[in-house]
Structure 1
Amino acid sequence: MTNWITKINGSDVQNTTDAHFILNQQAAESAEGVGFSVINYAPYQLRDAADEDVEIRVTTLLSGVQPDDLVIVQWPMWQADARFEKIFIEKIRLIPRVKIAALLWEVMPWLMTDDLSDGMHPEMTKLRDFDLLLVANRKLAEQLRDSGGITSPILAMGLTDFKCQGSLNAKADFKKLVVIDSSYDEEQLSYHGQLPFTAMADGGFGVVPAARSQYEAYTNSLELSKYLSMGLPVVIRSNMAQAELVRVHNLGIVLDDLNAIDAVLADMTMMDYQEKLPAVGSWSEAVRSGYFVKRACLESIRILKLGEVDCLAEI
């Protein structure tokens, strides 16, 4: 029995600047670290291809998958032609006793419309075809269960991994606020396997951007993971999906209004700040090492192959 995970291979530009491609490739690398094999594919140009040509391409990609295997499909698959995803899942289903999990990076209909009550969109129907969903966090898992009509097991990952290189600097200036965006400017950060950090924050708090839509408040903040990877405590709004995790594990400051941060910092001492660093350091190591994807992969085996479902799955 082989355990598989999909991996998209784009252009050099996509692989180094597109967040979806970067996270997809890092996840595949983490899965390999716990014994998974990789199904490599590319963003194919198939709009003018006949159905038979798409089927041949998919059949070739899946040639190594055998009965009783497990396949984690990183979803969506970022194809211009929707037939590819449909045929990909259909072909896997033809292989006896294969279990399929989705590592869900985006809920596409909710991303596009910001209507989290829409459970009838065709894209939601695709999600119901999986035996297990690996999703960002508990808040999103509950919404998928309540509004998305998902009845299969759902595992909440908690955090998004952000694998990077570089030593964590000592944190000195604790009242500084660090703001980075999701543009992946390599003058700020670099990626695992490429350049080392060119600038590593030496103190302060990383400011997690407020959600720009209802949907964003249900997703994992990549900025949060980037700050933790640098060993920085964070400032996060209370309506964000990961606010409770930050509060419970003392990873930073949770505020109803980010404009209140100046008053909070004015009352903070260096000792208050230093008390947060050991907890942040542990979570930093987890995020940097790909722990959350590795755990999700191993839990997929436990749930789908061993048939053990408990409180770790939102069912």
Structure 2
Amino acid sequence: MLYQVVESNKNAFNAGSKATADITSIAEKMNFKPLYVHHIEAKNNIFSKIVNQIRYFFEWSQLYKEVEDNSVILLQHPFRNRQCNREKNILKLKERKNVKVISLIHDIEELRNSVYNEHNRSEFEFMVRVADQFIVHNSKMKEWLKDKGVGESKIVILEIFDYLSDSPINEKNFANNIIIAGNLDLSKSAYLGEIQNVSNLNFDLYGVNYKNNASPNIAYHGAFKPEELSEQFTSGFGLVWDGTSIDTCDGNTGNYLRYNNPHKLSLYISSGVPVVIWKEAALATFVKEKGIGLCVNSLTECAELISNMSKDQYDEICSRVNEESIKLRSGFYSKRALEEALRRIQNI
């Protein structure tokens, strides 16, 4: 029997919730039965937090009873909230019911290093302890896990996150426009404070926490739900960038691109948009091999490459992007990784 633990948070409205929801949907179509653990955003008082923990205690106890012997259970890591009775019951499932665990990793906080704390350290160590198979973003993350002592035979590479969608793909127009979608908070992505200094590029911004940066080459279009975004993109390139500078990706968030598969890249490809990505990012290899965008050292270099590009060259890139879009919209990469993890577990 196949199961998956699903953290249910109805208040979630961000790319992260889209990523986990898509994995849940893809796994369910593969007959992973959802087992729900509900979270309600606690008000800033002790009573609300206690109520949540009581709910966790009973839901994890019920979850343990429901799972059959010799089953496989999919966990999406990391769990974002402390949950009373979770670790105890996962260990009981492994020890008493011979349950195998697939851990699909969304983030590794030690690598991101912006909110790494005792909870995140403990969460990672427990994941390594219980997982029989890991699904990781890419080869760079795989090598990092191997350095942490995880055996190569336990690691499956996802390659890229899928992005389920049935929204129509608009035909893209060639233009020197750069799309930036996501959290526009300058404290998270300080490079946004410098984009007005990039000559020969126009920037189309979509997302939350935008602070007005009056400049003729910047247009803010508002915040949209994930399923609504693709219809907004009509031209140009989607940017995968982070850090403090337009000249390189630096700092904790910039360095994380060396290991992470940013979900916004999947958003762009699913929407039929060619991408621009930092040349040292882990996913730059994927972009180059698939021929679906530009790999650059700086945004100034990006402007130069686009200025020397023809419409025919842009249309050829769009054609290859659309081929990949079909895969991402259907869950191709997640399904392939889950199938490989199951095959390996069956051979244990």
Post-superposition shift, 1:271? 1.5
The structure carrying a bigger strand percent of its residues is 2
Post-superposition shift, 1:141? 1.1
Distance 2:35 2:300 in 1: 46
Assess if the C-alpha contact under 8 Å between 2:5 and 2:74 holds in 1. Answer: yes
Change (3 A) 1:251 1:22: same
Post-superposition shift, 1:242? 0.1
Post-superposition shift, 1:161? 1.8
Post-superposition shift, 1:52? 9.4
SS at match of 2:65: coil
The structure carrying a bigger helix percent of its residues is 2
Distance 2:230 2:134 in 1: 36
State the partner residue of 2:70: 68
State the partner residue of 1:313: none
* CA deviation string 1:249-279 (max 9, x = no partner): 1010111222211111121111111221222
Match of 2:325 among 284, 296, 301: 284
State the partner residue of 2:27: 31
Q: Is residue 127 from structure 1 mapped to residue 127 from structure 2 by the alignment?
A: yes
Q: Is residue 190 from structure 1 mapped to residue 225 from structure 2 by the alignment?
A: yes
Post-superposition shift, 1:43? 2.4
Give matches, 1:159-308, under 5 Å: 159-182=160-183, 189-192=224-227, 196=228, 199-210=231-242, 211=249, 212-307=253-348
SS at match of 1:293: helix
What is the TM-score when the length of structure 2 is the normalising length?
0.75
CA RMSD of superposed structures (Å): 2.9
**Unaligned 5+ residue runs, structure 2?**
43-47, 185-206, 209-220, 243-248
Post-superposition shift, 1:18? 3.4
Post-superposition shift, 1:91? 2.7
State the partner residue of 1:5: 4
Q: Mean alpha-carbon deviation: is it higher for 197-206 or for 261-270?
A: 197-206
Change (3 A) 1:254 1:114: farther
Identity %: 21
Change (3 A) 1:139 1:84: farther
**Unaligned 5+ residue runs, structure 1?**
308-315
State the partner residue of 2:60: 58
Amino acid at match of 2:312: M
Change (3 A) 1:91 1:187: farther
State the partner residue of 2:80: 78
Give matches, 1:78-117, under 5 Å: 78-81=80-83, 83-112=84-113
SS at match of 1:296: helix
Distance 1:164 1:191 in 2: 9
Post-superposition shift, 1:20? 2.9
The aligned length equals 295
Amino acid at match of 1:108: E
Change (3 A) 1:5 1:47: same
Q: Is residue 40 from structure 1 mapped to residue 36 from structure 2 by the alignment?
A: yes
SS at match of 1:204: strand
Amino acid at match of 2:32: F
Distance 1:8 1:122 in 2: 19
What is the TM-score when the length of structure 1 is the normalising length?
0.83
State the partner residue of 1:310: none
Assess if the C-alpha contact under 8 Å between 2:77 and 2:127 holds in 1. Answer: no
Distance 2:310 2:27 in 1: 41
SS at match of 1:239: coil
